[in-house]
Amino acid sequence: MDIVKADVAIVGAGGAGLRAAIAVAESAPDLDVALISKVYPMRSHTVAAEGGAAGVYRDDDSLYKHFVDTVAGGDWLCEQDVVDFFVDRAPRELYQLEHWGCPWSRQPDGRINVRPFGGMKVPRTWFAADRTGFHMLHTLFQTSIKYSHIHRLDEHFALDLIVHDNQVQGVLTFDIQNGIPRLVLAKSVVIATGGSSRCYKFNTNGGIVTGDGMALAYRHGAKLRDMEFVQYHPTGLPGCGVLMTEACRGEGGVLTNKDGYRYLQDYGLGPETPLGHPKSKYMELGPRDRVSQAFWQEKKKGRTIKTPLGDVVNLDLRHLGEKYLHERLPFICELAKAYVGLDPVDAPIPVCPTVHYTMGGIETDGKTACTIKGLYAAGECASVGIHGANRLGSNSLVETVVFGHVAGDEAAKFSREVDFADQNKTEKEAEDLYAASRSIIGAKGHDENMGRIRAEMGQTMDDGVGIYRDDASIRATIAKLAELKARYKKVKVSDDSNVFNTEWLNAVELGFLLDNAYAMAYSALNRTESRGSHQRLDYPERDDKKFLAHSLATYNGDDAPTITYGSVKITKLKPAKRVYGAEGEKAEAAAKAAAEAEAAKEGK
Amino acid sequence: MKRSNEPIFWSIFGAGGMLVAIFVPVLIALSFFITKIPEGEQINAAKSSIDAAFAWFTYSGFGSFICFLTISGCVWHALHRVYHGMHDLTIHVNFAHQLICYGLAFIISLIALVACAIRMFS
Amino acid sequence: MADKMNMEILRYRPEQDEKPWVQKFEVPFTHETSLLEALCYIKDNLDGSLSFRWSCRMAICGSCGMMVNGTPRLACKTFLRDYAGEVMRIEPLANFPIERDLVVDLSDFIEKLERIKPYIIPKEEKKDDEEYLQTPTQLEKYHQFSGCINCGLCYAACPQYKLNKEFIGPAVIALAYRYNLDSRDAGMKQRLELLNQESGVWSCTFVGYCSQVCPKGVDPASAIQLSKIHSTTDYIISKITPGAD
Amino acid sequence: MFEVTKKEAPSKRKPFNRPVEANWWTRKKFYTMYMIRESSVLFAMLFALELLAGMICAATGNDTSCLIKWINFMASWPVKIVNVIGLFAVLYHTYTWFNLMPKAQRLMVKGEPMPGSFVKVALYGALFITSLVAIALAATGLLSI
């Protein structure tokens, strides 16, 4: 088998993967990086992010405020020490991107412009018109070209990790273009393969977001943390699920039901703010889980609009005016025209909640290190602990660069301390793994249609583990997933070719999705409380006594994953009732008064 | 990594193109009104001002200079496009083709210049 | 009942076929169905071996460029409703070698993208908590050219690239121009080394079809003409300053 | 350290290059119009050669007899028919040339790139004025020898 030896291997070339590669190339210029990606780097799903990246910028903002918003937004399931580190490093990484040429939108005097975003008290979301992810990814990819020590293995599919006694030794990849397997031997591996939203049928994610890295680490003993927390983005286009960025609401867009009524005020996000003057943490600027949950309630009351593509509400941007829309949201106008044939300047856009982000992922410590030695994870595939039960909009893009940088540095440091695994033994193992993976091609008795398994998985996840869940719906999904996993063992793959055999690769991806979906469903079943984006109809209250804890799923092959719970680091912010809108304002005032009183007491 | 000399030809091509676009249409239009001069008669502005104008254009010193510029503009622009056009027609152009095209443009311009000089100093 | 669309797709499997061949499919479609969804329908239900690149399905990742009735388009932004009653002829992106089915070998394009030094070569260093001031007007000057999603449609449209594969092509020049115009960058001189060559901007005869097919309105044709002006100015400077060249 | 060892049998990759047809430009209307645009200037060259003939006549010999022959030549109907076609060809050149010119400028006006229409207005203005001046001079008999 072809072998590539590199000091550090990085799986996934999106925001986190590229930033990690650059971090290694900058902090350890003598080391070499093998950047493995199943698509060209500029196709990674980071490119589809629109809203922005959060980092403290304004004078009236502070690291502590960003800390409070993130922890409160995550319904106190965040590792507060890691959030502290994250909010401190965020601005620096965004300045670094600016130095590398990222075209951030600007204020008239040339300084960076920031805009309001859901759940953020003070505007701190840096943005590049409404294509922030696109500009960040292209800036990172183009900057990575500067470094000769980054060796890209484009269109290489990561089939498996090579792990010997809980230490990662390399990655078995498949060179899709040449149709041959290639073993990448490395002393440390960074996983940056993004989320796993494709478990769901209706989602805003690209076709490549199949949670490969998550499933690989999971199968090799790493635990998947907080998998039950799946974020529904409130405004996706019905049918195709294309994203209408939260920036639409940040710039003043409003959500109305079939009577044209801004229904969010009925769900603890009121009172109604004036049209075109959004107020932080009020109405349409509430966090994503609350706004999505409000849609679900409206639908139950039958006040949403029926369309052939399902129930929708109206995202109305008309009052913003054409010039403002074409300057601030040009991509949204383009998408609305292309996919629903409407111009936001003169017609409201039909939207409904769609699966958007997986809060959970591979359990890592504050420095992106996994329980498997030498393995690091950064970005959406990792659960580094800053999102908790609900991620705030624009915290994820900046997470990829902050923790991509950390993962790169840590992986470089680790690779200096160890040596390569024995090449022949590892090569033999890789050949067996490759043969096993290829064995499903043309296997006898394999007659299950892959497309149907994928569709049924997506449907059952949408039905059972959606915005609102209960014991019965989750158990139904688990039963269906078990049946699908059995049918998956008989999946039909007729294409036995090598070059660009996408049918076989899709089958492998489907395997990853099923494992991740299983972890999501079981984690949801065991968390009998409602917190952040995990809302149980049968347990509507948040239960801090039993469930102020991370869920940890351990892989058991085909059987159910064992779910255990890990403690949550609370440092500065005691768990409190999570409130928004006027109620939130009152609570904040009270908290400040209490803090001042306490400070005064200490002062005496 | 050899620098191309195309900027020279492209600049002349651009100037020629502008001249052809702005000046040549009216010239061609006016040429429709040229009338035959009866046997034995001279060019007479009263009888046919267009004929006289065209005569001035080629005969007078200043006129012939503008005429020289017009001719050079047209041929350099046109032959630049012929050269690239050959490439478009999948002819494997090489230095010889370049020599022919731009050489021809140079010769024609030269003839016009000489004629203009004769008219100017006679 | 959904209407039916007749599709002719050019197939090519390097291990079995000597040359590409056409396979006919009939795909049901509704008002919203995009060509990408149709291809996924075929792959899931009719012929699993059909291979094509795709990901974001919202015309921002640039994976799914292909020829639709002879025109380079993004599959995710091409809708069957616009071809009702016709036969849709789907072929891999023109001017690139066919790797398999609708997948082409883009490595020539990617390699040229890397040669043009598409990164900021800064005029002056900045501390890590300080940004370069760039007014909205300075940003607007190059912003249009930073919208390129590297989909390759302009290369499929450009006859000069078809005739001469040395030509670095529209998207790469547009990206070079984007960085040359960025107020933070001072790398134009280095990028001009590539742009000044015969296979740089000077292979372009301004056909203009690249800008017509560009799905993101980047207008690479304009970037090339403006780069020609840069290159010509640089040519003049080099000729009049002794020993500069 | 980055080391690649190739052991696998050569890959089964066999990229297929489609042939470049010489008549590629007939396949697409856009390309055909491009070739027409490129060849439209041949008529300008033809007209230039006509003028050249006139200049040669004017330069040879000291009397105007040759010049008169040239004028009569220009007045002959075959030349006029060719020039009628030539006029349409050159006007098509003007139209396409003025469409392309806006793309070769990137002036910023009030924070926005100057719209192409400004450039076109200026160019068509120049065409109009030049034509007016030429017609005026030609029609009034000011120019003569």
CATH number of domain containing A310: 3.90.700.10
Average pLDDT over residues A296-320: 92
Residue A497 in any domain: the answer is: no
pLDDT tens figures, B23-72? 999 999 999 999 998 888 888 888 889 999 999 999 888 999 999 999 99
Say how far apart CA C92 and CA C129 lie, in whole Å. Answer: 47
> Rounded mean pLDDT of chain A?
93
Among residues A353, A387, A422, the one where a domain terminates is A353
Among residues A353, A385, A407, the one where a domain terminates is A353
D7 → closest Cβ in A2, A5, A31: A2
Residue A273 in any domain: the answer is: yes
Residues forming a β-bridge with A256: A314
Q: Which chains lie within 8 Å of chain D at 3 or more CB pairs, if any?
A: A, B, C
pLDDT digit string (tens) for chain D, length 145 residues:
899 988 867 888 999 999 999 999 999 999 999 999 999 999 999 999 999 999 999 888 777 889 999 999 999 999 999 999 999 999 999 999 999 999 999 999 988 899 999 999 999 999 999 999 999 999 888 888 7
Q: Do A497 and C15 touch (CB under 8 A)?
A: yes
The total of structural domains in chain D comes to 1
A106 → closest Cβ in C53, C120, C139: C139
Our answer to whether residue A233 is catalytic in this structure is yes
Catalytic pick among A66, A198, A249, A534:
A249
| CA–CA distances in Å: residue A259 to residues A262, A295, A306, A307, B48 | 9, 14, 12, 15, 80
H, E, C per residue of A203-250: ECCCCCCCCHHHHHHHHCCCCEECCCCEEEEEEECCCCCCECCCHHHH
Task: Indicate if A22 and A134 belong to the same structural domain.
Answer: yes
Burial class of residue A142 (count of CB atoms within 10 Å of its CB; 0-12, 13-18, 19+): buried
C159 → closest Cβ in D16, D31, D113: D31
Residues from chain D that touch A5, judged by Cβ atoms under 8 A, are 1-5
Chain centre distance of CA B60: 17
Q: Which chains lie within 8 Å of chain B at 3 or more CB pairs, if any?
A: C, D
Residues from chain D that touch B22, judged by Cβ atoms under 8 A, are 94, 123, 126-127, 130
Task: Indicate if C112 and C216 belong to the same structural domain.
Answer: yes
CATH code, domain carrying C217: 1.10.1060.10
Task: Indicate if C115 and C209 belong to the same structural domain.
Answer: yes
DSSP-derived letter for residue C42 is I
Confidence of residue A12 (pLDDT cuts 50, 70, 90): very high
- How many CB pairs below 8 A link A and C? 168
> Rounded mean pLDDT of chain C?
95
Catalytic pick among A233, A405, A550, A578:
A233
List, in sequence order, every beta strand (DSSP E) within A442-554: 468-469, 535-536, 549-554
Task: Indicate if C100 and C142 belong to the same structural domain.
Answer: no
| Contact map slice: D 58-117 vs A, CB within 8 A | none
> In 3D, which of A142, A229, A281 has the Cα closest to residue A536?
A229
CATH code, domain carrying A153: 3.50.50.60
Residue C150 in any domain: the answer is: yes
Residues from chain D that touch A179, judged by Cβ atoms under 8 A, are 11-13
| Contact map slice: C 176-215 vs B, CB within 8 A | 193-194, 196-198, 200, 202, 205
- The larger pLDDT score, comparing residue C100 to residue D145, is at C100
Residue D12 in any domain: the answer is: no
Task: Indicate if A223 and A265 belong to the same structural domain.
Answer: no
Q: Which chains lie within 8 Å of chain C at 3 or more CB pairs, if any?
A: A, B, D
Confidence of residue A590 (pLDDT cuts 50, 70, 90): confident
Task: Indicate if A80 and A111 belong to the same structural domain.
Answer: yes
Q: Please give the residue of chain B at the shortest CA–CA distance from D141.
A: B49
Touching check for B5 and chain D: CB below 8 Å? no
Among residues A384, A400, A431, the one where a domain terminates is A431
Among residues C86, C104, C122, the one where a domain terminates is C104
- Torsion of the alpha carbons at D90, D95, D101 and D107, rounded to the nearest 10: 140
Contact A516, A196 (CB under 8 A): yes
pLDDT at A551: 96
Chains D and C touch, contact meaning at least 3 pairs of CB atoms under 8 angstroms apart: yes
Say how far apart CA A60 and CA A533 lie, in whole Å. Answer: 29
Task: Indicate if C134 and C235 belong to the same structural domain.
Answer: yes
Task: Indicate if C80 and C137 belong to the same structural domain.
Answer: no
Residues from chain C that touch A92, judged by Cβ atoms under 8 A, are 128-129
- The larger pLDDT score, comparing residue A587 to residue A402, is at A402
| Contact map slice: C 73-132 vs B, CB within 8 A | none
The total of structural domains in chain C comes to 2
Determine what percent of chain A is predicted with pLDDT higher than 70: 100
Q: Is residue A62 scored above 80 in pLDDT?
A: yes
> In 3D, which of A302, A320, A329 has the Cα closest to residue A247?
A329
Residue A167 in any domain: the answer is: yes
Chains B and A touch, contact meaning at least 3 pairs of CB atoms under 8 angstroms apart: no
Residue C245 in any domain: the answer is: no
Task: Indicate if A50 and A171 belong to the same structural domain.
Answer: yes
Contact A509, A491 (CB under 8 A): no
pLDDT at B1: 64
- Choose the weakest-confidence range: C15-24, C228-237, D106-115: D106-115
Task: Indicate if A334 and A370 belong to the same structural domain.
Answer: no
- The larger pLDDT score, comparing residue B116 to residue A588, is at B116
Say how far apart CA D38 and CA D36 lie, in whole Å. Answer: 5
Residues in CB range of C185: below 8 A, 6 or more apart: A101, C120, C121, C122, C123, C179
Task: Indicate if A346 and A326 belong to the same structural domain.
Answer: yes
Residue D127 in any domain: the answer is: no
Average pLDDT over residues B92-115: 94
Task: Indicate if A201 and A328 belong to the same structural domain.
Answer: no
Mutate to test the interface with B, among D55, D56, D142 (most CBs of B within 10 A): D55
Residue D38 in any domain: the answer is: yes
Number of neighbours of residue C129 by Cβ within 10 angstroms: 8
Residue A482 in any domain: the answer is: no
Residues from chain B that touch C235, judged by Cβ atoms under 8 A, are 3, 7-8
D7 → closest Cβ in A1, A31, A32: A1
Residue D63 in any domain: the answer is: yes
List, in sequence order, every beta strand (DSSP E) within chain D: 2-5, 108-109, 112-113
Confidence of residue B14 (pLDDT cuts 50, 70, 90): very high
Residues from chain D that touch C162, judged by Cβ atoms under 8 A, are 20, 24
Look up tokens 């949403």; give the residue. A304
Provide the 3-class DSSP secondary structure of residue A330: helix
Touching check for D20 and chain C: CB below 8 Å? yes
pLDDT at A270: 82
Range of the domain at A252: 236-353
Say how far apart CA B32 and CA D75 lie, in whole Å. Answer: 7
Say how far apart CA C167 and CA B6 lie, in whole Å. Answer: 14
Average pLDDT over residues C33-46: 95
Peptide bond connecting A234 to the previous residue in cis, omega within 30 degrees of 0:
no
Say how far apart CA A509 and CA A451 lie, in whole Å. Answer: 12
Residue A464 in any domain: the answer is: no
Number of neighbours of residue A351 by Cβ within 10 angstroms: 24
* Min Cα–Cα distance to chain D from C2, Å: 32
Given its phi and psi angles, is residue A211 left (phi above 0), alpha (psi -120 to 50 degrees) or beta?
left
* Min Cα–Cα distance to chain D from A495, Å: 15
pLDDT at A355: 95
pLDDT at C1: 56
Residue D52 in any domain: the answer is: yes
Task: Indicate if A143 and A258 belong to the same structural domain.
Answer: no
H-helix or E-strand spanning residue A134 = helix A132-144
Touching check for D32 and chain C: CB below 8 Å? no
Task: Indicate if A269 and A388 belong to the same structural domain.
Answer: no
The total of structural domains in chain A comes to 2
C245 → closest Cβ in B3, B6, B84: B3
Residues from chain D that touch C209, judged by Cβ atoms under 8 A, are 28, 30-31, 34
Task: Indicate if A161 and A249 belong to the same structural domain.
Answer: no
Residue A65 in any domain: the answer is: yes
Residues forming a β-bridge with A373: A167
Q: Is residue A420 scored above 80 in pLDDT?
A: yes
Look up tokens 């965020």; give the residue. A90
Q: Do A6 and D2 touch (CB under 8 A)?
A: yes
Task: Indicate if C87 and C121 belong to the same structural domain.
Answer: no
Among residues C104, C131, C148, the one where a domain terminates is C104
Mutate to test the interface with C, among D30, D33, D101, D109 (most CBs of C within 10 A): D30
Contact B34, D76 (CB under 8 A): no
Number of neighbours of residue D136 by Cβ within 10 angstroms: 10
Residues from chain D that touch B68, judged by Cβ atoms under 8 A, are 55
Residue A571 in any domain: the answer is: no
Among residues C40, C74, C104, the one where a domain terminates is C104
Task: Indicate if A66 and A189 belong to the same structural domain.
Answer: yes
Q: Do C105 and A177 touch (CB under 8 A)?
A: yes
CATH code, domain carrying C87: 3.10.20.30
pLDDT at A603: 62
- Torsion of the alpha carbons at D82, D87, D93 and D97, rounded to the nearest 10: 160
Residue A480 in any domain: the answer is: no
Average pLDDT over residues C220-228: 97
Q: Do D141 and B45 touch (CB under 8 A)?
A: yes
Q: Is residue C76 scored above 70 in pLDDT?
A: yes
Residues from chain A that touch D8, judged by Cβ atoms under 8 A, are 1-2, 180-182
Confidence of residue A489 (pLDDT cuts 50, 70, 90): very high
Look up tokens 């999971």; give the residue. A218
Mutate to test the interface with A, among C44, C56, C134 (most CBs of A within 10 A): C56
| Contact map slice: B 82-121 vs D, CB within 8 A | 82, 84-85, 88-90, 108, 111-112, 114-116, 118-119
pLDDT tens figures, A188-223? 999 999 999 999 999 999 999 999 999 999 999 999
Q: Please give the residue of chain B at the shortest CA–CA distance from D40.
A: B78
Q: Do C198 and B11 touch (CB under 8 A)?
A: no
Touching check for C245 and chain B: CB below 8 Å? yes
Task: Indicate if A180 and A252 belong to the same structural domain.
Answer: no
Residues from chain C that touch D104, judged by Cβ atoms under 8 A, are 222, 225-226, 228-229
Q: Do C48 and A494 touch (CB under 8 A)?
A: yes
Contact D129, D122 (CB under 8 A): no
* Complex ipTM > 0.90: yes
Say how far apart CA C158 and CA A110 lie, in whole Å. Answer: 37
Range of the domain at C114: 107-240
Range of the domain at D51: 26-88
